[in-house]
Chain A
Amino acid sequence: MLRIEHLGKQFGPRLVALHDVSLQVAPGEIVALVGASGCGKSTLLRLAAGLEVPGTGRVLIDGAPVAGPHPSVGFVFQEPRLLPWLTVRQNVEFALAGVPKAEQAARSAAALARVGLTDFADAWPRRLSGGMAQRVAIARALVARPSVLLLDEPFSALDPFTKMDLQAHLLDIWADDRPTLVLVTHDLEEALVLADRVVVLRSRPGRVHGTFAVDLPRPRNRTAPDFQAQKQRLLEALDVGN
């Protein structure tokens, strides 16, 4: 479970990235953070991951305050960020430092099989397409079986087909262990396809504007009328054009 309490973060004397943000995400819940650029959604995610130190407030993972990167938190960046000098398999095993070698091999093999890249285990990252590389990044984030998975605009650099494919794939993988999932996105459709709840942030300073429960059964059909109706409601909640 992820709990964010009165989180604030300031960069330099002027720029208030986040102001008094509180949020609770239940175990196994999928939450999407949306908002205009500069609303602090990425900062919020990085604070939750322990990659940044909060100015005020705190983040709790399974009840324990976060003080730096945490073994039960996985992170998928906007870019795959694979280490180019490691093979695909070694990149996945990078998340398993300290685990016995034999277990690393077994777990990375399972994680790569899960994302459908067994055949590429010994390839260099330079040989992968963008979608494949991002699937390796997902395998790397999940191989240590985190209870919380944070994703920072993970599919924003991909073409629409690969993107839809990976969204479905992510839900599929999520269904295995049901980790808590927090996803930053600027794609409302992505938020509605994936999330149980959409949290809308406003900028200057970054703060929670409102929460939007997505009331649709899975799997969700993007073209269905009720999906479109939810999208309309979300757009209204975002105050677009105002």
Chain B
Amino acid sequence: MPNATLVLTPPAALRPAPPAAPRPRRRRPWPLGAALPLALLALWETLARTGALPPNLLPAPSRVLGTIAALARTGELWPHLGLTLARVGAGFVLGGAVATALGALTGYAPLARRLLDPLLQGVRNIPSLAWVPLFILWMGIYETSKVVLIAVGVFFPVYLGLMSGVQGVDRKLVEVGRMYRLSGLALVRRVFLPATLPAYFVGLRNGLGLGWMFVVAAEIMGANKGLGFLLVDGQMTGRPQTILASILLFAVLGQATDAALAWLSRRLLRWQDTYSMSEGPGE
């Protein structure tokens, strides 16, 4: 059976729906997508204030925001936020780097693909969270095991995206490169790299989404700092507002980092002839 966590790769689907912060869209006169979340928020706030929702289970959105504000004021928030970001960042860089090297190799060289890909596909089918006990046993409960777990999550989408991207490079364009006597590194830089970027960016964004999912798993299972720790702490101490605050922060951070990658991808792929680009800025 395929790893269920990997099936859920669209990053937006991995995260709980943000109760606030609708995605800002450029050049859209009226953000229609914000209407429903805002209406639900208003309903939720009203129901919570009238006491229709039990405050010990589902506190009002204003209380959740108040909790975040209080955490920020006391300065307690920043180590949690910083550490979670650092873990995701380190795991993303580590997993992304290994995936880039192996994906490029297996995409480019059929021999390497025949040798390595079956093994990697096999490993991919292990539900990644099954590694947790082993990683903790090997690397202890501190940062190394967490970063490695996140890196494993990031690895597969990036690896698969890049490998299929390299394999999908148009033979005819490679021939144009050969016709103008490009070889080796110049051919990679001027033809393979740009041709591969779209698939690579899809892989990176999916990988980042899984990175955020895996940091939650890693921090729930053993941490004394981080947003995942706040989740557990809120549960232990019976404070749902802390749990919801943490969920909201995960949503905002996940969305922000994904938007950064999406922005970079749009900038680098302005040349693409796709449906979505036909709406975007021309040149």
Contacts and interface: CB of A to CB of B under 8 A. Distances in A.
Contact of B181 (A71, A85, A125): A71
Interface in B183-204: 186, 190-191, 194-195, 197
Nearest to A79: B172
Interface in A77-104: 77, 79, 81, 83-86, 94-95, 97
A126 B172 contact: no
A94 B190 contact: yes
Contacts of B190: 83, 94
B249 interface: no
Contacts of A49: 179
Contacts of B179: 49, 51, 69, 75
Contacts, number: 54
Contacts of A77: 172, 175-176
B273 A126 contact: yes
A84 B271 contact: yes
A212 interface: no
Interface in B153-201: 172-173, 175-176, 178-182, 186, 190-191, 194-195, 197
Contacts of A95: 180
B180 A97 contact: yes
A79 B179 CA distance: 14
Contacts of B182: 97
A174 B173 CA distance: 26
B173 A124 contact: no
A217 B270 CA distance: 48
Interface in B261-283: 269-273, 277, 282-283
Interface in A116-133: 122-127
Contacts of B197: 85
B175 A83 contact: no
Contacts of A127: 282
The size class of the interface chain B forms with chain A is 20 to 34
B181 A83 contact: no
Interface in B215-272: 269-272
A24 to B, nearest CB: 23
A136 to B, nearest CB: 12
Q: What is the size category of the interface that chain A forms with chain B?
A: 20 to 34
Q: Is the interface of B mostly helix, strand, loop or mixed?
A: helix
B35 to A, nearest CB: 34
A51 B181 CA distance: 10
B271 A124 contact: yes
Contacts of A85: 194-195, 197, 269, 271
B197 to A, nearest CB: 8
A81 B273 CA distance: 14
Contacts of A124: 270-271, 273, 283
Nearest to A68: B181
Nearest to A94: B180
Contacts of A68: 181
A97 B180 CA distance: 8
B141 to A, nearest CB: 46
B8 to A, nearest CB: 31
B88 to A, nearest CB: 30
A112 B69 CA distance: 60
Contacts of B173: 81, 83
B180 A123 contact: no
B258 to A, nearest CB: 23
Nearest to B172: A81
A122 B175 CA distance: 24
A69 B180 contact: yes
A83 B194 contact: yes
Interface of B: 172-173, 175-176, 178-182, 186, 190-191, 194-195, 197, 269-273, 277, 282-283
26 contacts: A51-B175, A51-B179, A69-B179, A71-B181, A77-B172, A77-B175, A79-B172, A81-B175, A83-B173, A83-B190, A83-B194, A84-B272, A85-B194, A85-B195, A85-B269, A95-B180, A97-B181, A97-B186, A123-B283, A124-B271, A124-B283, A125-B271, A125-B273, A126-B271, A126-B273, A127-B282
Interface of A: 49, 51, 68-69, 71, 75, 77, 79, 81, 83-86, 94-95, 97, 122-127
Given A77-B172, A94-B180, 10 more contacts: A69-B179, A71-B181, A77-B176, A81-B173, A83-B191, A85-B195, A86-B271, A97-B186, A124-B270, A125-B273
| Closest 7 pairs between A and B when the two form their complex, measured CB to CB | A126-B273, A85-B194, A85-B271, A124-B271, A81-B176, A69-B179, A69-B181
